[in-house]
Amino acid sequence: MVGMFVNTIPCRLQLDPHCPFDKFVVTVQHFLIKALAHSQLPYQQIVSSNSIAANTLFRFETREEYAASDIMSMIDNVCLSDAGSPNGDSSQVAMFDLILTVRYDSNNKHMKILFTYSKDLFEECTINTMAQRFRILLRQLFEQNLERQQPIFSLSLLLPNEVTLQQELNNTQLEYHDDNERQRAKNTIGQFFSQQAVNLSQKVAVDYVLCKRLLFPLGMSQMQDALFSSSYYRWWFLQRLWTLNTFWLSHISGTSFYNSYLRLCGARIGQHTIIDTTFIDAPDLLQIANSTYIGDEAVLSSLTYYDRTFKLHPIRIGSNCAIDCRTVLYNGVEMEERVLVKSMSPVTGYFSSGSIVDGPLKQIDKEWSNSKNNNHALSKPQNVFQLISILMMLFLHIFIVTFTCWCLSTKMPLFIRLAIVWLTWSTGRMIPCVVLLKFIVGEAQPGIYSLNSWYFLRKFWLRQLVVRSLAFSFVSNIGPYHLLFPRLLQWLGARIDEANDVRISQPHFLLAFPTNLVHIEQGTTVNGFVLFIPFTVTTDGLCKVNCIRLGRNAQFGNHCTIQQGANIAERTLVGTMTRINEETNTVIDNDSPGHVVLGIPARLMPFQRDIPISVSANKSSPYIYSDLASAICVQFLVKVIISFLFVHAYLLLPIYFLLAEHFISLFFFALPREICLLDRINRWRYQLSAILTLDFYTFIAPLLGGTQWLVILFRRLKANIGQDVIIGEINAIEDWKHVSLGSHVRVSATAKVQVRDT
């Protein structure tokens, strides 16, 4: 509709798409005349009684009047030229939003159509497109014989380029050179996308950028909306994509390539900034200035849950800042330049220049606030070195898969080949990881180095790349607390007093630390997700490296952080989520049964730990390798089942994972509340449950985070959870049957609910 609508009531007219256009014009004419008969009542009676002149509501104004036959002859002789830009004065004030003016010149026998529009509401390209569509419609109406009685539905408003595109998309008459092309043509878009995602999984990260442009075309700005609204689920979908991409993004984290990817995602990243974390939930709201360092597993959380709503807060970090590992930035953060945040510190609000944050403590160093800028710039050869290293890691993954496929016979069933390739890729990464760490990366020496030095790149950044890409295969194939792990660390240069009397849950965290700088004494137990930080960033923008010592019979709880220079005395119990650095004092008497260390930063508690139970050291080498062989056999059996279902009955895959979840629930529910040794558990049952749990966490859990399906799953796993509960990730709760959450609880994706005593 075009024109001015003031005190106007639109008339509704039912359209018949098969009605000819000339008949439709006559119908509209009669309809308007009929409506015009009632336009003056009862208003006309009021005008007549008061002798006030008035115009009719429906008004059609022309300069000259012609008979109907003359008008039809004009239309037959109309010449439609190309639509052009207006030649009028662009500075003229438009009376209305949009006006369509039709002028007929009797001398030249030409009809001129003019669009007058307000530039505050319309762009010139929009009006040009509208004029072109109107011109196409006029051509169909008046350049053809009206006696053809063409129906309304046959009229088109498509432009020529749109018609061409439509024909190309609908063209299914293609020639196929082989059966593979014919089979690919039969696949749907969803099947093709799934196939490409499997073949080129490292390119799935690009999908986040594309989906973000589609779901948030204007960017993900600071917003607040109701929970479970369309905005929430759009953000949730992007967050699930980001979670699926974290493995491949970890290959480029800490490089300029990762900064470029974050810029594509909407973040504003300065020059020479090092970002070594993938825990980012809203890149659009992230702003980081120049020469800033952000450590591994630092949480940059813009999301805040409320009772019925959620809100996304901006995170702004100034230049020359240093944010250490596992720091949590949440609920809106604004930092000035030169702010130092030590490991595992919670950060929210405003921080002035020169601030030093250490857990709940905060102080200001005026001398540091006036110091010179840090220089983290890498040279072109260093950037090329990083690029080649990343490509070699990706090539190694591709080589393992393609070489295994080439060696297998094509007569073998497809699901068997798929299981063998899967198992080879999963287990084959262990040998290259050990070889690269031993002979390529090598040993590192204590000292202070620059973050843009060649020594740092070769000894620390390259080690992180190898470990993130390959080392997790140790846990995924062998399982936690295997006696092979201490022997492996010994071969890589670590000093371990008694390998059979040391328990390590996840060795890839220790492999990230230079192994020649690690000293582990007898009876030490390292539980899950203990992060060993090989260096700390100083106020001068340099990294400091030193040795660590884990004393005899020391125990480390889940999710604690051990920094360079840490010296853990014997019989020390390090509690869950505790930070140990070179400043932590845990020196105790040899006759003491041991102390407990808790907090951020760590502090000695006024109570003592129980006397640790000594672990038997009579494990022989044949037992170690037979246990390893049994773990690989169980892995192969599970992969054969999944591959068979994927190839022949993919609709049964959800049933398989439901049965796996049921088995996991029954197995862990049967465990005692306190387990001192894993030897009490049947090894086959434990390996099977661990593999099923890992597969469930890998394929299903990333899709459930932040949904009510995850809450239902935890209830199936014997967790006591109330109503209206949101849990960000499945890793947030580990001991399911011992956890009770009330109603209206919000658990963030990076939160950890711990109940087990270490």
pLDDT at 283: 92
Same domain, 329 and 258: yes
Cα 243 to Cα 436: distance, rounded to the nearest angstrom: 28
Q: Which pLDDT band, with edges at 50, 70 and 90, does 608 fall under?
A: confident
Q: Mind giving me the DSSP string for 150-212?
A: -BGGG-----HHHHHHHHHHT------SSHHHHHHHHS-HHHHHHHHHHHTGGGTHHHHHHHH
Which of 93-102, 342-351, 513-522 bottoms out in mean pLDDT, i.e. has the lowest?
93-102
Query: Is residue 253 located within the same domain as residue 114?
Result: no
Question: What is the phi/psi pair of residue 584, to 5°?
Answer: -75, 130
Between vectors from CA 539 to CA 536 and to CA 544, what angle results, nearest 5°?
30
Q: What is the mean pLDDT of residues 485-505?
A: 90
Domain presence at residue 404:
no
Asked whether residue 575 falls in the same domain as residue 670, the answer is: no
Q: For 188-243, how does the pLDDT look when each residue is reduced to its tens digit (9 = 90+)?
A: 444 444 454 445 444 555 678 888 888 888 778 778 889 888 888 899 999 998 98
Tell me: do 145 and 292 sit in the same domain.
Answer: no
Q: Is residue 742 part of a domain?
A: yes
Do the Cβ atoms of 722 and 745 come closer than 8 Å? Answer: yes
657 with 708, same domain: the answer is yes
Q: What is the pLDDT of residue 620?
A: 46
Give the helix/strand (H/E) hosting 525.
Answer: strand 525-526
CATH number at residue 493: 2.160.10
Identify each DSSP E strand in 61-128 by its residue range.
98-105, 110-117
- In this predicted structure, which of 207-221, 540-554, 648-662, 715-729 has the lowest mean pLDDT? 648-662
3-state secondary structure 216-277: CCCCCCCCEEECCCHHHHHHHHHHHHHHHHHHHHHHHCCCHHHHHHHHHCCCEECCCCEECC
Given a cut of 90, whether residue 513 has pLDDT beyond it is yes
**Rounded mean pLDDT of the chain?**
79
Number of domains observed in the structure of the chain: 4
Nearest in space to 205 (alpha carbons), one of 247, 173, 163: 247
- Whether 651 has a pLDDT exceeding 70, the answer reads no
Q: What percent of the chain has pLDDT over 90?
A: 29
By CB atoms closer than 10 A (0-12, 13-18, 19+), residue 248 is middle
pLDDT at 171 over 70: no
Please state the rounded mean pLDDT for residues 586-608: 75
Of 151-155, 210-214, 261-265, 565-569, where does mean pLDDT reach its minimum? 151-155
The pLDDT of 300-305, averaged and rounded, is 92
Same domain, 214 and 152: no
At which of 353, 369, 385 does a domain end? 369
Q: What is the pLDDT of residue 68?
A: 39
| Statement: the pTM of the whole predicted model exceeds 0.75 | no
216 plus 363 within the same structural domain = yes
pLDDT at 51: 53
Question: How high is the pLDDT of residue 197?
Answer: 46
d(CA 671, CA 694): 18
Do 153 and 93 fall within a single domain? yes
Measure the CA angle with vertex 576, ends 303 and 351; round to 5°.
Answer: 45
Residues 139 and 247 in one domain: no
Does some domain include residue 392? no
Q: Which of 109, 140, 164 is the last residue of a domain?
A: 164
Whether 363 and 242 map to the same domain: the answer is: yes
**Between 100 and 271, where is the model more confident?**
271
**What are the angstrom distances between the C-alpha of 590 and each of 389, 552, 595?**
47, 11, 11
Higher pLDDT, 334 or 76: 334
Question: Which residues, 6+ apart, have CB-to-CB distance to 653 below 8 Å?
Answer: 642, 645, 646
Q: Are residues 151 and 244 in the same domain?
A: no
Q: How confident is residue 653, by pLDDT bands cut at 50, 70 and 90?
A: low
Residue 612 has pLDDT above 50, yes or no: yes
Q: What is the pLDDT of residue 489?
A: 93
- State the pLDDT at residue 591: 56
Q: Smallest Cα–Cα separation from 262: which of 240, 278, 238, 247? A: 278
- What tens digit of pLDDT does each residue of 48-82 get? 665 555 454 444 444 444 443 444 444 444 454 54
399 domain-assigned = no
Q: How far is residue 61 from each of residues 31, 101, 194, 451, measured CA to CA in Å?
A: 19, 11, 62, 78
Hunting for tokens 């080690």 — which residue is that?
A: 463
Which of the residue ranges 473-482, 485-494, 562-571 would you say has the lowest mean pLDDT? 473-482
- Inside any domain, residue 250: yes
For residue 496, the enclosing domain spans: 480-607
pLDDT of amino acid 574? 92
The tens digit of pLDDT for each residue in 107-166 reads 777 777 888 888 877 788 888 888 888 888 877 777 655 555 677 777 887 888 777 777
How far is residue 419 CA from its own chain's centroid? 28
